[in-house]
Structure formats: structure tokens, C-alpha cells
Amino acid sequence: MHISDGILPASTCILGYATTGGLTWYSLRQINRAQNPQENIPKASLLTAAFFVASWIHIPIPPSSVHLILNGLLGTVLGYHAFPAILIGLFFQAVFFQHGGLSTLGVNAVMIGLPAIFASYLFQLHYLIGKGNRFVIAMFAFLAGAGGLGIATLIYIALSITSIFTGIGAEAQQTAIYGVFLAYIPLMVIEGWFTAAVVLFLRRVKPELLESKN
């Protein structure tokens, strides 16, 4: 899902950096409002590392393969820490492994990081419906994990329509977009299940890690 250098027009890349700057500022502002802003840094560092290596875990879905994103999991566990964590992870992925690119770093951060913030708010809804109910927590964790990837996929498709697939015919463009969407549906289920499993594990061994972050 990472967009490489040389694919998007310069105007889109500049807009991506501007949006990323605004989202980073807003996230850090929300983090600094906490009673102890440094408290979640070790946890954020650990999940940044997990996000960094997740792109190398490829899942075969014929005729190709897709890789884990984990933005929904980061949003669920980290709250506003998720956006800067994803930004740092994307930067090192681009620098060390050429996965994505530096010119498209802003766009990739928005595409993957913004849905993580949405996933955080989605997971917090379980407090309104059934706080402490194991099934409700698992359901909203699943929705957060799957929804984080689902929204990122929709953003990718929107960029594909407006910037990436503009040079091909309408029929080929439609086929490519359908292919992207269908390939990521199974991964959405996997990410939702994985997020729910991690959340239920943390709820059992260290429930304070799942306290409201927003």
C-alpha cells in the first residue's frame, strides 16, 4: 500500500507533507495535554518497531500477496501517539528498505496514520456500549483493526483514481482498483482478528494499557 517516489505529482506530495505536518502538530498537542506525556513513550516505541517490521510479513492472496499494516492496532493501543509512531516507522522503512519513498512520505503518513486516529476513536466507543464486556471489547477492537486498514485502502483508491492510474484506460483503471480492493478485504479480516487478539491479551495481563487515550 506504500506509494513509491516518482508516482504522484509534486502538488500531491506537497499537500501530503502539509497535512502530515498539521496532523503531527495536533497529535503532539493532544499528547502534551496528558498528565504525564512521557508515560506512553516506551509503549509507542515498541509498537513503532512492530509497525516497522510488519511490512515484511507478507500474506499470499492469489495472484499476489499483501502485507500487514497494523495501523488499526496502533490507533487502538496508542491513541494520538499512533500518528507520530507511524510517521517515524514510514521514514525508516523508506530510508533503509526503499519501501515507500521520501517524496511521498507525507502522503503515506496521512494514508496510514489518519485511519489510525479514527480506529482509536472507534475502539473507545466500547466504553459507551459495554465497558468491561469481553465480547464488546473484542468486537470494537476487530472493527478498529479492520477499519484502520479499510479507510487506508479507500484513501489509496482515491489517490489511484486521481493521480496514479490516470494514464490508463477506464476499463483497465476499474480492473486495477477492484483488484486492490479485493486483495485487501481478506487482510482487513486478518488485521481485525489480530487486533482483537492483542487487545484481549492486554486486557487480561495489563489492562491499564487500554485506558482511554483521547
pLDDT at 173: 62
- Contacts of residue 140, defined as CB under 8 A and 6 or more positions apart, other chains included, come to 122, 123, 125, 126, 129
Question: What is the pLDDT at residue 61?
Answer: 53
Structural domains of the chain sorted by starting position, each given as residue range(s) with its CATH number in brackets:
10-210 (1.10.1760.20)
pLDDT in tens, 73-121: 999 999 999 999 999 999 998 888 888 889 999 999 999 999 999 999 9
**What does the pLDDT look like over 4-26, one tens digit per residue?**
888 888 999 999 999 999 999 99
User: pTM of the entire structure?
Assistant: 0.86
* Predicted pLDDT of residue 63: 44
C-beta separation of 147 from 118 below 8 A: yes
Q: Say yes or no to pLDDT of 70 above 50.
A: yes
Among 104, 107, 97, 147, smallest CA distance to 124 is for 147
Q: Is residue 59 within a helix (H) or strand (E), and if so which, with residue range?
A: strand 58-61
Is 34 a residue whose pLDDT tops 60? yes
Sign of CA dihedral 141, 158, 179, 93: negative
CB atoms within 10 A of CB 158: 12
In the chain, % of residues over pLDDT 90: 46
> What local confidence, expressed as pLDDT, does residue 127 receive?
82
